[in-house]
Structure 1
Amino acid sequence: MSNWIYEFENQVHHRGRAVAIVHDGRSFTYDELNRSASSFAHWLREIGAGRVATYLTNCYEFYVVQFGTVKAGAVSVATNYMFGEETLRYVLQDSSADVLVVAEKDLAEAKSAAAGTNVRYLVTLDGPGNDQVTSLRQVLTDYPEHIVSMPKDDGDLFNVTYTSGTTGTPKGVMKTHRNIGAHVSNLVHAWKLTPESRWLCAGPVYHTSGLESSSLPVLAAGGSVISLRWKPDAFFEHVDRYRPDAAYIAGAMIVDIADYEHPERYDLSSLRFVIAGGAPMPARAYQKILDRYEFTVCERLGMTEAGIIFVDRVGRPGSYEPRDELPGHRIGSCGSPLYNQTQFRLVDPVTNDVRSVGEGELQVRGDSVFAGYLNMPERTKQSFTDDGWFISGDIVRIEDDHVWHLGRRDEIIISGGENVSPRSVEKVVESHPAVVEAVAFPLPHERWGQEVCVAVVLQPDATVTADELLDFCKTGGGLAKYEVPKQVFITDDLPRTPTQSVPRAKLTQRYATATKEPA
């Protein structure tokens, strides 16, 4: 699959009356989605748009704008809805977007962010148009519903997705039509998607996971996407009402599902598996879901720059084998490799030795790997080896064709010369029944360089103390002596990035003054 939009139009031709998108109680067929996207594409061509930015949460119109942009031969710019005004302004300037699409309630902020940038047209989804703002509703009424998609070479840009910028300024990840087509093809095969597939997409569609790793593969296969703005009640109501066979969620949503008070009020029998991504899954939440529900949790490992690399696989179309019946499956792993169009290898961060199993920094190569960072030629050059391998920065362990994510290379804690994986520590702490979430981070230590510390969020009624959690880590978790946390900080306020991950550096800054005297 080299060009996704042609695959979508093939489904329009063969399954035009089938439901493509469900959102907010309304169902939209492939024909309806295609006609609306074509009208928007007509308008984009008329104004000569080159790059179209969206500042939207999950909604039907997001898909209209995305597909219309591609049909017009323009480039989509996905901005994170959690970005503040200053970050949004930077993204608009960096991307040279000339169109910005927003909801009416965000119009004032969008106008302010767009001032002084290349944006020529502000488009509102649900408000009236005027001499300063274009109404999407009016565009879809006034412009023709049929258009021939602009032919694009495989190497032309499909979109630019901005990362959350946990280490500084957000980076614009450029992906071509070839990149998107390869990634979508990988996942259609791995998850055995068919026209009968019905996926509930609760993860943000402005993320790679919500659009490229769930919505696009399902639509390429002729299935249906049930779009949802996250609320725990809405998740269970949508499963009961729309009968999806799979759901794609992100971040802390898995904890909401695990702790939901009355799941027995809903018929969840259609749901075979839930794919979790965006942040490591707390061990307690994982086990609680296995204990409370019939569906399986499907884990994966991916990145904005290369899509999903490792994933749990489904057994047969429309179903997922129970986890305890999957031969050789390793609970807690991120699945096994997608061999179709992606190569991977492990490289020792110190010796640069290359291996295919064991522990090392993950490097990937293939058609799904991005084209580079927008306006960052030096950063792009530093991110690839001379022979084209993308240096991910992820430290992983591979055994028996399964992968475990140990952390980021720049997040590995080095204590007394020993490397400590934050995720290994977190899994032990999160196995305590009183712990909801744990995040390991380093604090400076005069003798050891760094010491391992953990910030912990507890269950609402938990009474466990920090010292008791330290004792638990020493005696019950199987950690090496140098991995055992030296300090535990109990909090109900973990810092979050726009993608809902926890930046460890922020915790180091927060608790730096709490460092103990050298031992």
Structure 2
Amino acid sequence: MLEGCVPWPAEAADKFRKLGLWEDITVAEMVERTMRTMPDKTAVVFKERRISYADLVRSSQRLAVALLDLGLKPRDRVVMQLPNVPEFVIAYLALNRIGAIPVMALRAHRHNEVRHFIRASGAAAYLVPDVIGSFDYRAMAAEMAAESPHLRHVIVAGEPAPGQRALAPLIDGSTIDAHALGQRLDAVRPSPDDVSTMLLSGGTTSVSKLIPRTHNDYVLNARLCAHTAGFDRDTVFMAILPLGHNYNLASPGMLGTFHAGGTVVIAASTDIEEIFATVERERVSVIASVVPLISNWINSDVPARFDRSTIKVIQNGGARLAPELRMRLREQFHCTPQEIYGTAEGLINMTRLDDPDDLLLESSGAPVSEYDEIKVLDDDDREVPDGEPGELVTRGPYTIRGYYNAPEKNAEAFTPDGFYRMGDIVRKRGRHVFTEGRRKDLINRGGEKISCDEIENLIFGMPQVKVVALVGLPDPVFGEKACACVILQPGATLGFDELIAYLRQQKIASFKLPERLEIMREFPVSPVGKILKRELRERILAQANA
């Protein structure tokens, strides 16, 4: 296993193999296995493009050999920041085929986050689009390359800047025949026990930690989630959210669809009319969504203008969908709402499609594997009875045993016997869990997690700020939004636009920006001086309702 990663204990690994949980194949081999049974089946649809399983595997293998020719090696890390396009799928599989490790950055990330990903992973390459909207990723990549001597390659999906390489010729340029292609790739086949993918932690600290998922555990993750979602060869899965998210990548997402032999339809945007026109055209059967999108669909008359009769399931992840919204979704779309609650570190809980209403409409699901161990602990790490609130901890065949190169964080995040601390307060009824909120200081904006520590530390950099506290306020669309509460230095002033302009200069993702500013004279504090954020939040809400 890659140095800096924590392996499963040998006894546990042996057990998972004997139970048939770990198949000892790589992620790329999983897709190739499906291809051999249905080479002409459509694997990926994007706008007018249709890519068969055979073409998908052929393109990814050609790119894999081109990357080897560039000098990339097994276990090299590659920060991947591509949007939802077929090139994302091809590049992801190509890296997995040669044992290089994609680090899954998101389109919204900017200099501050990307710099951390490159440094923390020791990345050898960075894969970006050229321009999206008004933002030029090539310029950011050039800055990162200048700062990081170990970053040897910048590869651009689109027109590269000087010193950068275009992705398209690497995919299309190889003339090597299939036999020679296979020989080259077989020579560098990664061990299924090695790292397939590095995901990003939700971040209760100021920076995301890197989550090393192995081929064995990630294939299992995709397989279990696909089975629980009822995926099969007839599944037409629509991906709207970032493919770099664990939810849309493998829970069940893209990889779960490929495991089942279905078709992945990549949505071109989140525009409601475009989404449902695509549903009608491609006869979509499953959509993975989030609270803000579902809320918009329920409250709009647009979906009714299109044929939605093929939709069987609409999944929700990232943040809990309220029971009343699940009921409205079922009534208006004549489909089954499926709640998916989990973590990029491993454990995935899903409601079953045949659950009784009290579980289907109210719970956050049950673990997808009978071998997922879950416990609910109090503040002293004692297990609490069913129905009592506490922190959810887990251990199992696809939950990591440690972050990459993070021994201090691992000591906090894992119990001595290897259970991962989810950081969520839940109540358990049998195997089903009911979520109640975060244990640590995190704002959940429509599934995107905002670390209060990170934003507070940045705001403290403003000379007029004496004290700052970031709190989450209710939002009808995103569930929560960030409010910056500030005590100013004597005589200082600060406006909302000034605060946002300053934070934009720090080059952080836009979803992390506060959406409200409250200037205050004092904060409620505990006897030892700790800011009481719950009381602070209640004060703001009370003033708004006064």
Q: Is the TM-score greater than 0.5?
A: yes
Deviation at 1:63? 0.5
What is the match of residue 133 of structure 1? 164
Which of 48, 54, 68 pairs up with 1:45?
Answer: 68
The code of the aligned residue for 2:110 comes to G
Q: Is 1:115 matched up with 2:146?
A: yes
Q: Normalization by structure 2: what TM-score?
A: 0.73
Deviation (angstroms), 1:400: 4.8
Residues 1:455 and 2:473 aligned together: yes
SS at match of 2:440: helix
Q: Distance in 1 between matches of 2:227 and 2:476?
A: 40
Alpha-carbon contact 2:77-2:122 (below 8 Å) kept: yes
Structure 2 Cα separation of the partners of residues 181 and 410 of structure 1 = 30
1:176 aligns with 2:206: no
Work out the CA distance in 2 between the residues paired with 1:351 and 1:380: 16
Counterpart of 2:496 in structure 1 is none
Aligned equivalents of 1:234 and 1:297: distance in 2? 21
- State the secondary structure of the residue aligned to 1:94: helix
Counterpart secondary structure, 1:180: helix
Q: Is the 8 A contact 1:361 1:394 kept in 2?
A: yes
Letter in 2 for 1:158: S
Tell me, which stretches of 5 or more residues in structure 2 are unaligned?
A: 1-22, 132-136, 453-470, 478-499, 524-535
Question: Counterpart of 2:56?
Answer: 33
1:219 aligned partner, one-letter code: F
Conservation of the 8 A alpha-carbon contact between 1:215 and 1:225: yes
Q: Which residue of 288, 296, 299 maps to 2:336?
A: 296
| 8 A contact 1:345–1:363 mirrored in 2 | yes
Change (3 A) 1:338 1:52: same
CA RMSD of aligned residues (A): 3.3
Unaligned residue ranges in structure 1 (runs of 5+): 316-322, 413-421, 427-438, 442-452, 460-492
Determine which of 364, 367, 371 is the counterpart of 1:334: 364
The whole-number CA distance in structure 1 between the counterparts of 2:352 and 2:220 is 17
Q: Could you tell me whether the CA contact under 8 Å between 1:174 and 1:373 is conserved in 2?
A: yes
Matches within 5 A, 1:488-499: none
Residue in 2 that maps onto 1:463: none
Of residues 41-50 and 59-68 in structure 1, the stretch that sits farther from structure 2 once superposed is 41-50
Which residue in 2 is equivalent to 1:429?
Answer: none
The equivalent position to 1:312 in structure 2, one of 329, 334, 351, is 351
Higher alpha-carbon deviation: 352-361 or 397-406: 352-361
Q: Is the 8 A contact 1:89 1:114 kept in 2?
A: no
Asked if structure 2 preserves the Cα contact closer than 8 Å seen for 1:251 and 1:501, the reply is no
Equivalence for 2:246: 208
Pairing 1:124–2:159 present: no
* Cα distance, 1:120 vs structure 2: 1.0
CA–CA separation in structure 1 for the residues paired with 2:317 and 2:232: 22
- Residue 252 of structure 1 aligns to a residue in which SS? helix
How far apart are residue 328 of structure 1 and its match? Answer: 5.5
Q: 1:377 aligns with which of 393, 407, 419?
A: 407
- In structure 2, the partner of 1:185 is 223
Which amino acid is the alignment partner of residue 242 of structure 1?
E
Cα distance, 1:305 vs structure 2: 0.6
Shift of 1:288: 3.7
Displacement after TM superposition at 1:33 (Å): 0.7
Match of 1:240 among 269, 280, 297: 280
User: Which whole-Å deviations, capped at 9, do the CAs of 1:130-178 have from their partners, x for residues lacking one?
Assistant: 7612111111222236434543223211111123535301211111112
Shift of 1:185: 2.2
Task: Return the alpha-carbon distance in structure 1 between the equivalents of residues 517 and 398 of structure 2.
Answer: 35
- 2:270 corresponds, among 222, 225, 230, to 230
1:8 paired residue number: 31
1:157 alignment counterpart: 195
Match of 1:89 among 101, 104, 115: 115
Instruction: Single out whichever of 506-515 and 148-157 deviates more from structure 2.
Output: 506-515
Q: Give me the whole-angstrom Cα distance separating, in 1, the residues matched to 2:380 and 2:416.
A: 18
* Distance in 2 between residues matched to 1:77 and 1:250, nearest whole Å: 23
- Counterpart residue number, 2:4: none
Structure 1 partner of 2:468: none
Residues 361-510 of structure 1 mapped to structure 2, 5 A cutoff? 361-411=391-441, 455-457=473-475
Given that residues 258 and 286 in structure 1 are in contact (C-alpha distance below 8 angstroms), is that contact kept between their aligned partners in structure 2?
no
CA distance in 1, matches of 2:362, 2:48: 36
Alpha-carbon offset, residue 372 of structure 1 = 2.1
Measure how far apart 1:262 and its partner are: 2.2
Q: In the superposition, relative to structure 1, how do residues 356 and 456 fare at CA in structure 2: closer, same or farther (>3 Å)?
A: closer
**1:220 and 2:220 correspond:** no
8 Å Cα contact 2:235/2:257 also seen in 1: yes
* TM-score in terms of structure 1 length: 0.76
8 Å contact from structure 1 (residues 186, 340) kept in 2: no
- The Cα shift of 1:243 comes to 0.7
Alignment size in residue pairs: 436
| Identity across matched positions, percent | 22
For the residues of structure 2 that align with 1:262 and 1:124, how far apart are their CA atoms? Answer: 36
Instruction: Provide the C-alpha distance between the structure 2 equivalents of 1:176 and 1:512, rounded to a whole number of angstroms.
Output: 51
Equivalent position SS for 1:7: helix
SS in 2 for 1:373: coil
For residues 208 and 136 of structure 1, do their structure 2 counterparts lie closer, same or farther at Cα, with a shift above 3 Å needed? same
219-228 or 284-293: which moved more?
A: 284-293
Q: Cα distance 1:179–1:510, how it changes in 2: closer, same or farther (>3 A)? A: farther
Report the alpha carbon displacement of residue 251 of structure 1 after superposing the two structures with TM: 4.8
CA–CA separation in structure 1 for the residues paired with 2:476 and 2:350: 30
Q: Which letter does structure 2 place at the counterpart of 1:171?
A: K
In the aligned structure 1, how far is the partner of 2:289 from the partner of 2:358?
25
Counterpart Cα distance in 2 of 1:197 and 1:170: 33
Q: Distance in 2 between matches of 1:271 and 1:407?
A: 30
Which range moved further: 60-69 or 6-15?
A: 6-15
Q: Secondary structure at the match of 2:359?
A: coil
Match of 1:388, SS state, is: coil
Shift of 1:513: 5.5
Distance in 2 between residues matched to 1:396 and 1:511, nearest whole Å? 33
Q: Is the 8 A contact 2:110 2:509 kept in 1?
A: no
1:235-284 alpha-carbon deviations (Å, 9 max, x no partner): 11111111111111235222222222322210000001111111232556
Shift of 1:64: 0.4
